[in-house]
A and B are shown apart, each in its own frame.
Chain A
Amino acid sequence: MIILVAICAGTATYSISYLLNKGPVFASALVTLISGIFLPYFLPENGPTLMAVAACASYAGQVSNKNVPNLREMIMVSLITGALFIIFSTSYVGIGGRLGSIAAISCFTWMGIKKVFKNDNLQDNKISYINKVNFSEK
C-alpha cells in the first residue's frame, strides 16, 4: 500500500508540474494538501502513515525534468521513495524536512542507477568497437 501511494503521489506531482505546467511547488503542495485531507478520512487506520508517504513522494516529484525526463522514470523514483520510507520509518521522527531528505536520497539513488547503467552501456560499446577495429586490422 505504501509503495502504491508513493507511486500515485509521485506521478501525480510530476504530471501536474510538467504535463499541466503548474510548477513543482504548486504541484507538490496540492498533492500534499489533498492527501493530508482525504487519506486520514478514507483510511483512518493507515491514513497518517500514508499521507506522510504521499507528501514524501510529492517532494520527489518536484525533481527537474532534466534529471527525470519521463513518467516511467518518475514511477521508478517513487518506488524507491516508498521503499526508503519503509526503511527510514523510525529514523529522525519529528525533524522537519525528514521526508524531503528521503525524497532527495531517492532521486540521487535513481540518478546513480541510471549513471551506472549508462557507463555499462558505454563500456560495452567501447569493447565492441575495439573488437571491431582489431578484426578489421587482422
Chain B
Amino acid sequence: MKFDKNKIKIIICAIAGTTLSWFINHEIGFGAIVASGLVGVIAAILLPASLAGTAYTASFVGMSSTSIIPSLGAALLAGLIVGIMIIFTTEIYAGIGGKGGTTAALSTIITKIILGLFS
C-alpha cells in the first residue's frame, strides 16, 4: 500500500474521530449518541466532505462500550484500524446508508480480537 498525503490525512482524521468520540462518550459522560453526533457536526463544519465522512465513520467506533474498548489507548488503536479499513473500502458500496457503520463495526471487532490477544 502506497502512503500518500491523502491517506495520512484519512488516518489522522480517523484516530481523532474515534478518540474524541470515545472521550466524550466515556470520560465526559455525554453518552454514545451525543458523542457521535457532536463529532459528526464538528467534522462536517470544519473538514472537507470526504474527511468529514471519515471522522464521522470513526466516531461510530468511539460509541463502543468500555467492555469492548476499555481505554483511550485502545481507542487510538481502534482509530488506526478504522482508518486503514476506510482506505481499503473506499470504493465498496459507496452511497449505501450505513456503510460507515458497517466498516466501524468490523473495525471494532478486529480491535477487540487484537486486544484479546494481549490481555
Contacts and interface: CB of A to CB of B under 8 A. Distances in A.
Interface string A35-49: 111000000000000
A25 B49 contact: yes
B87 interface: no
A107 interface: yes
A33 B45 CA distance: 14
B62 A96 contact: yes
Given A26-B52, A59-B97, A36 B34 contact: yes
B51 to A, nearest CB: 10
The residue in B63, B67, B107 that gathers the most chain A C-beta atoms within 10 A of its C-beta is B63
A26 B41 CA distance: 6
Nearest to B58: A96
A38 B109 CA distance: 31
Report, as a range, how many residues of chain B touch the other chain: 35 or more
B114 to A, nearest CB: 15
Nearest to A110: B97
B95 interface: yes
Contacts of B61: 96-97
Contact of B95 (A67, A95, A103): A67
A28 B95 contact: no
Nearest to B68: A94
Nearest to B78: A96
A96 B63 CA distance: 5
Contacts of B39: 29
Q: Mostly helix, strand, loop or mixed at chain A's interface?
A: helix
Interface centre among B31, B40, B98 (most CB of A within 10 A): B98
Given A63-B96, A97-B105, A103-B101, A32 B60 contact: no
A11 interface: no
Contact of A30 (B34, B37, B63): B37
A105 B31 CA distance: 25
B62 to A, nearest CB: 6
B49 A23 contact: yes
Contacts of A92: 105
B104 A97 contact: yes
Nearest to A66: B95
Nearest to B39: A29
Interface in B81-96: 93-96
Contact of A64 (B69, B96, B105): B96
